[in-house]
Amino acid sequence: MAWLSPAFPVGGFSYSAGMESAVVEGHVGDGDGVEAWLGVLLAHGGLRNDAILLAEAHRVQGEGQSLEEIISLATALASSAERHAETTRLGEAFVKAAAAWPHPVIDVLVGPVPYGVAVGAVAAAHGVDRVDAIAAFLHAQISQYVSVAIRLGVIGQTRGVSILAASEAPILDAASSYARLDLDDLGSATIIADTLSMRHEIQYSRLFQS
């Protein structure tokens, strides 16, 4: 929980994963829109893929295998330049901060390391259960995007809390399900979200880096 709390210095507050463009272009305009958007990402989009990659990194580290291939694959799967920058910068910052919990895996996770892979490998190295790691990771991501929506003025804090409450059961179900998946299950059906992440790169006025 410490690793995935808002106080952990990864800089997640500066990224929106394309949600800013979704708001600017009218795809998300109220609390129901935010809740639906996050639900789609969790079930069919980037959050699902990140969780699968986390699960694979957890398995690989737990079995004492090399993390090189999963790091390369996860990096290559970034759907846009901003998405690549977001996931690798968060990953590098996570590894740097997680070094406060000494373990040889820290020396392996050097250079651009996608966030989910870093979390999965470090969690496995310290004996954190895979399902628990995925659930905490997904909750942290959903919380971050709710914060994005609040800062963009789409929702208030009360509606944000209700979205977090409504997300608890889907997150727990997703964590249990995604922990059993492997790389053959990677894929998404969120073309609009992926495209908006690319469009954000040339957006005229921006609060967030992605």
> What tokens appear for 14 in the block?
């500066």
- What pLDDT is stored for residue 145 in this prediction? 93
Residue 164, number of CB atoms within 10 A of its CB: 16
Q: How far apart are CA 154 and CA 28, in angstroms?
A: 8
- What pLDDT is stored for residue 207 in this prediction? 78
CATH domain 15-183 topology: Urease accessory protein UreF (1.10.4190)
Report helix, strand or coil for 15.
coil
- What pLDDT is stored for residue 92 in this prediction? 95
The answer to whether residues 75 and 84 touch, using CB atoms and an 8 Å cutoff, is yes
- What pLDDT is stored for residue 51 in this prediction? 97
Tens digits of residue pLDDT in 48-76: 999 999 999 999 999 999 999 999 999 99
> What tokens appear for 120 in the block?
């999965």
Q: Could you give the angle at the alpha carbon of 121 between the alpha carbons of 72 and 53, nearest 5°?
A: 50
Tokens 């969120």 map to which residue?
A: 190
- What pLDDT is stored for residue 1 in this prediction? 85
Q: Could you give the angle at the alpha carbon of 151 between the alpha carbons of 3 and 48, nearest 5°?
A: 50
Q: What stretches in the chain show pLDDT beneath 50?
A: none
